[in-house]
Chains A and B, each alone.
Chain A
Amino acid sequence: MLAADVTRAAGILTVKNESDASGITIPRGTRFTARGNAYLSTEDVAVPPAHAMGDGTLMAGSQDVCIEAEVEGPEQTLTGAQQFQIEGLDAEQSRNLYGQGDAITMQKQNYRGLDASYEFDVDSETYRKTDPLTTSRWYPTLVGLPGGRVLAVSGLEYGKIIDGDNEVYEPSTRSWNDQPELDRYFPTYPSLFRLADGHRLSTAGPTPATARTRRVASRGSGISATTAGPTSMVWPTRS
């Protein structure tokens, strides 16, 4: 979103979980407060539990989420780092969960992927909204699969590469489904092609000096990876 179109201050909040007992999903629209201002999260955020480090100390679980000011206007901008309270938690949760934010600004909102998804109807030349992607993606790569399904890989979320989290569109339900069994890292902007044997090929993006080619099997639902030489990689089917 360009700066001229930004009406609400926004930024990235890191939600911390000091509890090693359980992770938590904080729903979209949760209010985060700091310095008397309120901000709403723009999507669900799943925060893992804290985990023990090698020296026995606990490292808080953490996950980033985008927040937007509840009301419009530049008065909602914040400079510098601050801690945010999370509303709607019980007493124990409040002790363990908090947000850490950097600047909240009215600046251009870069690399913030959308989870919006549409089918284009070539007969009526209109778009029809589908259920959202499970992950917001800035510049994902899509490739058609058998049966009208679509595989989505890569993209940035808040400026960070999505680390191997891929998903598949199911046309019968018009919904996207996370595919943990297809977990595989792709760089930004990979090109994917379906091949005649049911495989796909990817000619990868920004991996300097390595023309990387991958074959990806699509017959089964699962994929495991083996390397077939320095410049190619094969994903055989797990049928």
Chain B
Amino acid sequence: MNETSTSFLLAPAQDQKVAIVGGGAGGDGEESTSRFSVVDLTDPDPRYEPAADYPSPARYISAVTLPDDHTLLTGGSVGYRGNHQSDLHLTTSYDPQTGTLAEVAPTRSGATTTRRRCCCPTAGS
């Protein structure tokens, strides 16, 4: 279920943790997962461990790490490429220190397969 999943380095980078969220079966299947797992790469035998449950099964989630070390997760869709009007407006914020995922304001528009979003250079300044 790794196809169309999203993975990102958690902040701060020196903690050496990588998260993987969402994803689905290979090809254009409708199946997707809400798994949210984290691997600690400082561990001599690193393994992905469940970290939180994403509120919905999802593919193509966009992840942006913010200046406060939280990662904002937004968009994507339940089905393959947003099929059957399954775009997600759901937006969450993951706190890597507490390991909690909190729902925040939803997006106005769905944005399936917009996989890259950037943190503006001016954010937080």
Interface residues of A (CB under 8 A from B): 122, 189, 191, 193, 195-196, 201, 203-213, 231-232
Within 8 A of A (CB), among B1-47: 1-9, 13-14, 16, 18, 20, 25-27, 37, 39, 41, 46-47
Q: CA A189 – CA B7 in complex, angstroms?
A: 11
Q: Could you say which of B14, B18, B25, B121 contacts A193, with CB atoms under 8 Å apart?
A: B18
- Whether the Cβ atoms of A196 and B26 lie closer than 8 Å is no
- Whether the Cβ atoms of B18 and A204 lie closer than 8 Å is no
Q: CA A206 – CA B26 in complex, angstroms?
A: 6
Q: Could you say which of B20, B47, B121 contacts A203, with CB atoms under 8 Å apart?
A: B20
Q: Which residues of B contact A211 (CB under 8 A)?
A: 2, 20, 37, 48
Q: Which of B6, B13, B18, B121 has the most CB of A within 10 A?
A: B18
4 tightest CB-CB pairs across the interface, nearest first?
A206-B3, A203-B7, A191-B7, A206-B26
Q: Which residues of A contact B6 (CB under 8 A)?
A: 191
Q: Which residues of B contact A205 (CB under 8 A)?
A: 2-3, 5
Supposing A196-B13, A211-B20 touch, asked if A206 and B2 sit within 8 A by C-beta, the answer is yes
Q: Which residues of B contact A207 (CB under 8 A)?
A: 2, 26
Q: Which residues of A contact B3 (CB under 8 A)?
A: 189, 205-206, 208
Identify 11 residue pairs between A and B in the complex whose beta-carbon atoms are under 8 Å apart, listed by A's number: A191-B6, A196-B14, A196-B16, A203-B2, A203-B20, A205-B5, A208-B1, A208-B25, A213-B46, A231-B47, A232-B46
Within 8 A of A (CB), among B39-66: 39, 41, 46-48
Q: CA A232 – CA B18 in complex, angstroms?
A: 14
Supposing A122-B121, A193-B18, A232-B46 touch, asked if A213 and B39 sit within 8 A by C-beta, the answer is yes
Q: CA A203 – CA B6 in complex, angstroms?
A: 9
Q: How far is the CB of B52 from chain A (nearest CB, A)?
A: 16
Q: Which residues of A contact B9 (CB under 8 A)?
A: 193
Supposing A122-B121, A213-B46, A232-B46 touch, asked if A208 and B18 sit within 8 A by C-beta, the answer is no
Q: Could you say which of B25, B26, B41 contacts A195, with CB atoms under 8 Å apart?
A: B41
Q: CA A196 – CA B121 in complex, angstroms?
A: 23
Q: CA A210 – CA B2 in complex, angstroms?
A: 8
Q: Could you say which of A191, A208, A213 contacts B26, with CB atoms under 8 Å apart?
A: A208
Q: Could you say which of A201, A206, A210, A231 contacts B41, with CB atoms under 8 Å apart?
A: A201
Q: Which residues of B contact A231 (CB under 8 A)?
A: 47
Q: How far is the CB of B108 from chain A (nearest CB, A)?
A: 25
- Whether the Cβ atoms of B18 and A203 lie closer than 8 Å is yes
Q: How far is the CB of B4 from chain A (nearest CB, A)?
A: 8
Q: Which residues of A contact B39 (CB under 8 A)?
A: 213
Q: How far is the CB of A110 from chain B (nearest CB, A)?
A: 14
Q: Which residues of A contact B20 (CB under 8 A)?
A: 203, 211
Q: How far is the CB of B49 from chain A (nearest CB, A)?
A: 11
